[in-house]
Chain A
Amino acid sequence: MDAQTIIARRVAQELRPGNLVNLGIGIPTLVANFVPAGLNVFFQSENGLIGSGPIPEQGMRHPFLTDAGGRPISALPGAATFDSAMSFGLIRGGHVDITVLGGLQVDTAGHLANWMIPGKMVPGMGGAMDLVSGAKRVIIAMQHAAKGKSKIVVSCNLPLTSTRPVDLVVTDLAVIAFPGGKATLQETAPGISVAEVMAVTEAELAIPDKVPEMKF
């Protein structure tokens, strides 16, 4: 299993029947591919849709039915459309059960930086700040390290997305939660030891007595 598949499959296990879920771009988008049939989760696309479905086949696409990146999507039975004020009312108002977002850095306290690298990458925050401020549960799906540098850091030096800590981080090596505001190793990826995770993690992780492997 490649790194992205490990992350997406593990995140998919967090979804519960009836959840309203918002997936960010990148690895989070892949989560939809691993949702068990019949789980009945609703995916929100923040450009104004609940019930977004897979990319339709050629000839069945509609220019007015797209995801937040402008790519064609489909709408599942029971889908609903609405304007952007409503869409962000759903997000900010705590109606979205889970948001899955990419990350640049997450620190020991669970603070997330994921929207800019000063002087380098200035795309704008889009919906990320509202999602982290307002969703009931925030899950970060990202590689554990980028270019050999740990993305789980002592303290974020990139601009924060929100002061609200995230709930769970799923990487290709580990699952990390933040009970009592302290980064704590919950699981390791198949074949990865606790020592291996610690060796590539800048932040100090609390290590419980038993750390199970992810189960697929």
Chain B
Amino acid sequence: MKSVSVEEAVALIPNGASIMVGGFMGVGTPERLLDELVRQRKSGLSLISNDAAVPAKGVGKLFDAAQVSRMIGTHIGLNPKAQQQMLSMQTDIDLIPQGTFAERIRAGGCGLGGVLTPTGVGTTVEEGKQRIDVNGKSYLLETALRADFALIHAFLADYLGNLAYALTARNFNPVMAMAADTVIVTADNIVPVGVIAPDHVVTPGPLVDYLVANG
């Protein structure tokens, strides 16, 4: 684990990179990393994020600046700009069921090729996918999802990168921290080792590559 400035952290991300961004409607999102992605004008990003948040908040900022060329998510209903960019084919947005989204990322982080889920069988979600029957029940084969970078926000990070989250700001952060080649973390509070008790660590330090220093 290396401690870096927010500028250094974002400079690691090339144009066109795939990025997983934690958060749910902008709650539990690493806002400082998103602000810096906008400032450094990173373009052609492949975004993997639950939703498009709202304009000026969370990943919504990337749609404000038209930096996303592709998105995999579950809901963009509260961001008119994301919807507009999807309908005008400016951004290729793949909307999938939220439980499937979580499990595909979990599979990606856990070394699995994919998961079998009953969600979506017989609907438009099934198109182009393999249906597999197990013990008389039908499932869809949903393949694992990984990214070049995971941008994570925690409530507490200690000097070794152990992370703990707060309330509903946890959401997709723990599964995403497992599923990317490089994991970059911001935290509300950076604390000495030991402040987070071993039983309360949710994301173990060795998963974290870069911890963004607080200003």
B97 proximity list for chain A (CB < 8 A): 125-130
Are A122 and B83 interface neighbours, CB within 8 A? yes
Q: How far is the CB of A89 from chain B (nearest CB, A)?
A: 8
Q: CA A75 – CA B167 in complex, angstroms? A: 9
Asked if A70 and B25 make an inter-chain contact with CB atoms under 8 angstroms apart, the answer reads yes
**Other-chain contact of A163, B26, B51, B102, B123 (Cβ < 8 Å):** B123
**A125 / chain B contacts, CB cutoff of 8 Å:** 74-75, 95-98, 125
CB-contact partner of B77 in A62, A92, A124, A162, under 8 A: A124
- With A85-B175, A125-B74 known as contacts, the answer to whether A160 contacts B155 (CB < 8 A) is no
**Interface residues as binary, A101-131 with B (CB distance below 8 Å gives 1, 0 otherwise):** 0000000000000000000001111111110
The one of A49, A75, A88, A123 that contacts B75, using a Cβ cutoff of 8 Å: A123
Tell me if B192 counts as interface (CB < 8 A to partner A).
no
1/0 per residue, CB under 8 A from B, across A55-96: the answer is 000000011111011100001000001111101100110000
User: Taking each of B78, B99, B165, which has the highest tally of chain A beta carbons within 10 Å of its own beta carbon?
Assistant: B99
User: How many angstroms from the CA of A92 to the CA of B175 in the assembled complex?
Assistant: 17
Question: Is the pair A130, B123 in contact by a Cβ cutoff of 8 Å?
Answer: no
Output the least CB separation between A85 and chain B (Å).
4
User: At the interface, yes or no: B169 with Cβ under 8 Å from chain A?
Assistant: yes
Please report the C-alpha to C-alpha distance between residue A122 and residue B52 in the assembled complex, in whole angstroms. Answer: 13
Q: Report yes or no: B117 in contact with A64, Cβ–Cβ below 8 A.
A: no
Task: List residues of chain A with CB within 8 A of the CB of B51.
Answer: 124, 126
> Which of A6-14, A27-35, A40-48, A190-198 contacts the other chain?
A40-48
Interface size of B as a range: 35 or more
Chain A interface residue count, Cβ-Cβ cutoff 8 angstroms = 39
Nearest to B83 among chain A residues (CB) is: A122
Asked if B166 is an interface residue, CB under 8 A from chain A, the answer is yes
> Contact between B167 and A83 (Cβ–Cβ < 8 Å)?
no
Q: When the two chains form their complex, are residues A84 and B95 in contact, meaning their CB atoms are under 8 A apart?
A: no
Q: A88-B102, A127-B97, A127-B99 are in contact. Are A83 and B171 (CB under 8 A)?
A: yes
List chain B residues, Cβ under 8 A from A134. Answer: 99, 118-119
CA–CA, A82 and B202, complex, Å: 10
Known: A69-B78, A129-B99, A134-B118. 8 other contacts (CB 8 A): A47-B25, A48-B24, A66-B24, A83-B174, A84-B172, A130-B98, A160-B123, A162-B122
Interface residues of B (CB under 8 A from A): 24-28, 50-51, 53-54, 73-78, 83, 86-87, 95-100, 102-103, 105-106, 117-125, 155, 165-175, 202
